[in-house]
């Protein structure tokens, strides 16, 4: 599956629209066509012996969905106790729906393909492995998340 994810990560975006979100001070985007829905914090059932990046399972109208804590996945500090609960960005992957627990949901942005570049070499390793490109915006970089690599549990254990 890791090989399959690497091949998929090399592909170019299928849509010029990205649904954006924040994790700490990082600004991410995922192909809007992959986003199933965005939800506020949901009741979570923990999963014993799951990789540490798995926060738990949520029941999404009868569908059991794995929730991945993006702060842990990116090896970032945990949310402070006074920070708001994470939001759920439910994305469709080859293995089904997965919820990415993010700090804040952004907007859907139309991207100009001419501003797309490969990830910079100075990204922290945990983020670099999950990014397949960046868009240069006026005041920051938009990191394009590779959803398949992000939810690859074998890769999550090794990061």
Residue 96 sits in which domain range?
Answer: 2-158
pTM of the model: 0.83
CATH number, domain at 71?
2.40.50.180
The secondary structure of residue 69, as a DSSP letter, is E
**What pLDDT does 136 receive?**
87
Backbone CA torsion sign across 86, 74, 35, 1: negative
Question: Considering only 29-33, 66-70, 118-122, 129-133, which range has the smallest mean pLDDT?
Answer: 118-122
30 pairs with which residues across the strands?
19
Q: CA-CA distance, 84 to 150, in Å (whole number)?
A: 23
**Residue-level pLDDT at 142:** 92
pLDDT band at 145 (very low <50, low <70, confident <90, very high): very high
Q: So what's the pLDDT on residue 89?
A: 97
Q: How large is the average pLDDT for residues 124-143?
A: 84
In this model, does residue 3 exceed pLDDT 80?
A: no
Residue 28 has pLDDT above 90, yes or no: yes
Pairing mode, strands 26-31 and 17-23: antiparallel
pLDDT tens for each residue of 51-77: 999 999 999 999 999 999 999 999 899
Among the residue ranges 54-58, 140-144, 151-155, the one predicted with the least confidence is: 151-155
Average pLDDT over residues 94-109: 94
Distance of alpha carbon 110 from the chain centroid: 18
Number of domains forming the structure of the chain: 1
Task: Supply the mean pLDDT for the chain.
Answer: 84
């Amino acid at each position: 599956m890791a090989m399959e994810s690497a091949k998929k990560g090399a592909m170019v975006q299928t849509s010029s629209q990205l649904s954006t979100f924040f994790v700490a001070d990082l600004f991410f985007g995922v192909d809007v066509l992959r986003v199933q829905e965005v939800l506020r914090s949901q009741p979570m059932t923990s999963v014993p012996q799951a990789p540490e990046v798995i926060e738990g399972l949520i029941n999404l109208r009868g569908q059991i969905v794995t929730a991945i804590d993006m702060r842990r996945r990116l090896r970032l500090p945990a949310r402070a106790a006074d920070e708001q609960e994470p939001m759920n960005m439910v994305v469709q992957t080859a293995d089904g729906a997965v919820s990415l627990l993010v700090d804040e949901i952004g907007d859907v942005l139309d991207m100009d393909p001419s501003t797309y570049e490969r990830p910079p070499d100075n990204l922290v390793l945990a983020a670099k492995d999950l990014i397949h490109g960046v868009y240069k915006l006026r005041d920051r970089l938009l990191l394009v998340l590779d959803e398949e690599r992000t939810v690859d549990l074998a890769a999550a254990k090794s990061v």
